[in-house]
Structure 1
Amino acid sequence: MSAPSVLIVGCGDVGGRLAKQLLASGWPVSGLRRSVGQLPEGVAAIAADLNDPRCPAAWPVDAPDYLVYSVAASQHDEAGYQAAYVDGLRNVLGWLAERKQAPRRLLFVSSSSVYAQKDGEWIDESAAVEPEGYSGKVMLEAERLALASGIPATIVRLTGIYGPGREWLLSQVRQGYRVTEEPPLYGNRIHAEDAAGLLAFLLKADHRGEALDDCYIGVDDAPAPLFDVVAWLREYMGVTQWSEQERVRRTGSKRCSNARARALGWAPQYPSYKEGYAAILAGSL
């Protein structure tokens, strides 16, 4: 029995890591992005602009067994999010319909921004989604589009992706980043390799015939107050200076649970920020 094929729309950081993991398992992978020169070796290239309604010339002749929609907005405003997550997904679904192709499952990579909880609550997939900002509202619209597509769909809400090339916090800590200790500002994280690993795990579980839920939260085992993360990083990196002002870039505070993904058998390679940041700082990735 041949391995199933996967089309990754938005084959960037997480999508590229997913492609490498699947290729290592013998799965044929196609990757769609504007700049195909940055695709991992072994990925069949599809050069396309998701905002162009015309089907790309290199679109697969045979229907992909799985479709993963893992894009990033090119501009961080409401119009940019709408174009990337809603309009782009609508175009891809249109191309599938035009070719009369029906993948076995669609994985839509979403975000925990759909949750608006602010008081350190524990959040799972059943929690209320009442986003206040444009990013969460647009992402929720895109999720609903995926679920109503007629293709069996699973939403994967990733949280605070970090990893090589995603080192904003490390840069800030080196500059003496100062945050308030009370009340605790809880944050949620997942290493980029674990984010890709969760997507690969779900695809393989579906291929084995296991029943998937319509939503999973992608997060490590240990949501933590930002103050604790900064304190640990300061000690680990030997930072002694402090900036003059407290700087906090976001206002949300919640703790996301990965219990549903773990119940399916998934486990993060980097269970907390300590293992993940230590690996980055050691240059092991």
Structure 2
Amino acid sequence: MNKNVLIAGCGDVGCELAQQLLDTGNYSVWGLRRNIDRLPSGVHPVEGDLSNPEQLGEWPSNIDYVVYAAAADGPGQDNYHKAYLRGLSNVLSRLQADGHRPERVLFTSSTSSYHQNDGQWVDETSPTNPGRYAGKIMLEAEAILINSPFPATAVRFGGIYGPGRNRMINRVRAGEGCKAEPVIYGNRIHRDDCAGILAHLIQRDEQKLPVDSLYLGVDHEPAPLYEVLHWLADQLDIMLDDTHPAPQPQRGSKRCSNQRIIDAGYTFRFPNYKAGYSELLDSMSSE
């Protein structure tokens, strides 16, 4: 029998995850979101609002896996609190109230949980003491999940790019480079690999293989933002003005290791930014 997967907050990453799970033929997928018209074909629609415990929609009678993949409606502490604390708490409470016993609940967290900002290497064992609200709220959400009665895993994703996520490309097209010094490292992951990691962990758990409570979801090669911008500029044949300030992502400047998810058997579709952005640029040029 197919396993039932509920994706709460079935947006960009959630829809790609749903498609990957459906493609295996081994899962039935329910997608919970406010606008169900954008769900992939084959996904059972669940129209609901994660921030309202009375509007979480109709769930299947049996749920084997839950993926909480919501995104905040925008920047700001209130939006983050609503998406990652209130929404997650509402889903966990509903699971308990309805008597569900999922085999595992997975949560899409963020590398903003780390405070390191001087290019240090970090992994799942590194200390976390973020100074900004985003990282603090993510850590609080992770704690809510891990302290729930269900087996749980958080994946701290780096900067997600892919179809429709063209922030760096748009910056390059506007001619905005940055200074090479000081070096500011970024950690990226293609949207398809975000979904791929989540699908891999679900399949690993289903096979009764060990699944840790925390993984870093980044590709193999953290890279200076200056390098990424200028590589993209070379592909697009654009001259950059490097007098602009460097992008200052909430995730700071650090180098994140993905060794734990590699050791868990995941193979990246896009192991570095050059591989991922090459396909993205090709697809954009053919549109």
TM-score with structure 2 setting the length: 0.95
Question: In the TM superposition, what whole-angstrom CA distance separates every residue of 1:187-243 from its partner, at most 9, and x where no partner exists?
Answer: 000000011000000000000010111100000000001111111111111002526
Q: Distance in 1 between matches of 2:246 and 2:262?
A: 34
Q: Distance in 2 between matches of 1:108 and 1:250?
A: 21
What count of residue pairs does the alignment treat as equivalent? Answer: 283
- 1:282 counterpart SS class: helix
Q: Distance in 2 between matches of 1:264 and 1:247?
A: 34
> In the alignment, what sits opposite 2:84?
85
| Runs of 4+ residues deviating >6 angstroms | none
> In the alignment, what sits opposite 1:38?
38
Q: Distance in 2 between matches of 1:141 and 1:192?
A: 24
> In the alignment, what sits opposite 1:148?
147
Question: How far is the alpha carbon of 1:178 from its aligned partner?
Answer: 1.8
> In the alignment, what sits opposite 2:256?
256
Structure 1 residue identity aligned to 2:92: L
Identity over aligned residues, as a percent?
44
CA-atom RMSD in angstroms: 1.4
Structure 2 residue identity aligned to 1:82: H
Instruction: Confirm or deny: 8 A CA contact 2:15 2:39 kept in the other structure.
Output: yes
Q: Distance in 1 between matches of 2:90 and 2:17?
A: 22
> In the alignment, what sits opposite 1:183?
182
Unaligned 5+ runs, structure 1 = none
> In the alignment, what sits opposite 1:269?
269
Question: How far is the alpha carbon of 1:3 from its aligned partner?
Answer: 2.4
Q: Aligned ranges for residues 1-285 of structure 1 at < 5 Å? A: 2-26=1-25, 27-54=27-54, 56-60=56-60, 62-242=61-241, 245-250=244-249, 252-283=252-283
Structure 2 residue identity aligned to 1:125: E
Question: How far is the alpha carbon of 1:11 from its aligned partner?
Answer: 0.6
Q: Distance in 1 between matches of 2:240 and 2:86?
A: 46
Q: Distance in 1 between matches of 2:42 and 2:262?
A: 30
Q: Distance in 2 between matches of 1:245 and 1:134?
A: 26
Q: Distance in 1 between matches of 2:226 and 2:239?
A: 15
Instruction: Confirm or deny: 8 A CA contact 2:217 2:258 kept in the other structure.
Output: yes
Q: Distance in 1 between matches of 2:234 and 2:59?
A: 50
TM-score with structure 1 setting the length: 0.96
